[in-house]
Amino acid sequence: MSIKVAEIQRRNNFVDYPSLHELGDDAKMCDAIEKGKRLIDRSIPILILGETGTGKEYLSRALHAYSARRTATCVTVNCASIPDSLAESELFGYCRGAFSGALPGGMKGKVQQADGGTLFLDEIGDMPFALQTRLLRVLSEREVIPLGAAQPVPVDLHLISATHQNLHELVAAGRFREDLYYRIAGGVLRLPALRERTDLRPLIMQMLRDELPPHRTPEQSISAQALDLLLRYRWPGNLRQMHAVIRFACAVMNGLQIQVNDLPEELIPVVTSDQSVGLRGLAQSTFSPSAKQPDSVNAQTGSLRYDERARVLDALNNSRWNISAASRQLGMCRASLYRKLRQLEIPHVRDQTKFVQGQAVIFPLGCIASNQPEYAT
Ligand SMILES: Nc1ncnc2c1ncn2[C@@H]1O[C@H](COP(=O)(O)OP(=O)(O)OP(=O)(O)O)[C@@H](O)[C@H]1O
């Protein structure tokens, strides 16, 4: 990129703004993005809801970069992290000599800094009540009065807010102003948790592409077993956790492919003393037995798949992975069993070797049933 283009991008704040098409192919995510595009075009205040780490700030920055205001700044304020005593001056600014200890030239608050651009209020549910009243005035009058100022200053901004909290409950508990809720929630976008999303594989590939040197292909840089674990994990920390895991694996990998042992401990199933497969560090519930994450909607399908996977793995273990014997036991032909293995994403046993206490042992990635190590290599 030429220095001139880089300078224009830096000046215009394009750098670090993700583009909307990088946010994924999941249907719920695409629905949120499409609604977001229509709302921001019409300058309707957007409220983004979702568990922590689901990409609320990421989406808000991408929407800003898409909007007509993209050449101005997107200013982020984390309402949970500003101390109460500083919140007012941080948000609304102050004039020269407004209080002892103030900067001699005064200070522009975040609201004024966002003039012409976008103001992103993260964790809005944590905004102190007194500040909510002042924010409401800014939003309804479209002007801000810095501390110590006699005259209001007009501001023109697009507002995006986000929270992982239930604002209706906060309103009912008297901790969030109802009138402010209706002012900020012109359009509500709900982001799915990562475990509900159907586009984990492309997301993982995209994150790998971002971390790997440009000449490396993401698909060839991760082993089938490591990818299988990433696809079946429940991701309680959502995209933030997935991003951290991929960065970790890319940093520690020794060779051309990320292996199971390059993943953080909590993702790796281990053979426990009673020879059954357990999980290090985390509750079993953080893993799903199927590659596609079952959620409340497809829980029944997920449980059927779980049963079938368990049945197939049992037959394979009983026959010591002799495909003919296992297919006889399951009452199907060899070709059908191979097809079933692909369908249930069960890698062949020879691809599932792992070293435990210096010895190579096999543990089926189904993480079900008691698994005698099949053979040492
Ligand atoms: N589409 C994406 N592609 C790659 N990484 C992403 C994506 N979305 C989010 N991330 C990663 O996840 C992290 C968390 O995202 P973000 O801060 O947007 O989540 P959040 O929902 O706002 O979290 P919180 O509720 O804790 O504020 C980002 O810093 C980034 O590393």
Q: What is the best residue among 29, 48, 58, 235 to mutate for testing ligand 1's pocket, by most ligand atoms within 8 Å of CB?
A: 58
The answer to whether the CB of 359 falls within 8 A of the CB of 370 is no
For the whole model, what pTM was predicted? 0.71
How is domain 3-192 classified at the CATH fold level? Rossmann fold (3.40.50)
Ligand 1 touching residue 235 (CB < 6 A)? no
Output the residue whose Cα is nearest ligand 1's atom 28.
240
Ligand 1 in contact with 209 (CB < 6 A)? Answer: no
Query: Domain residue spans in the chain?
Result: 3-192, 196-260, 268-377
- CA of residue 3 to ligand 1 center, whole Å: 29
Give the number of other Cβ atoms within 10 Å of residue 240's Cβ.
Answer: 15
Whole-number Å distance, alpha carbon 198 to ligand 1 midpoint, is: 17
- Cβ distance 166 to 51 under 8 Å? no
The pLDDT of residue 41 = 84
- Distance, in Å, from the CA atom of 94 to the CA atom of 117, rounded to the nearest integer, reads 20
Integer Cα distance of 38 and 302 in angstroms: 35
pLDDT digits (tens, 9 = 90+) for 169-219: 999 999 999 999 999 999 999 999 999 999 999 999 999 999 999 899 999
Burial 76-96 (b: 16+ CB within 10 A, else e): bbebeebeeeebbbbbbbbbe
Whether 328 lines ligand 1, by a CB cut-off of 6 Å, is: no
Predicted ipTM of the assembly: 0.96
Ligand 1 contact via 53 beta carbon (within 6 Å):
yes
Check if 78 has its Cβ closer than 6 Å to any atom of ligand 1. no
Confidence of residue 16 (pLDDT cuts 50, 70, 90): low
Q: What is the pLDDT of residues 208-263, one digit of tens each?
A: 999 999 899 999 999 999 999 999 999 999 999 999 999 999 999 988 999 999 99
CATH of domain 196-260: 1.10.8.60
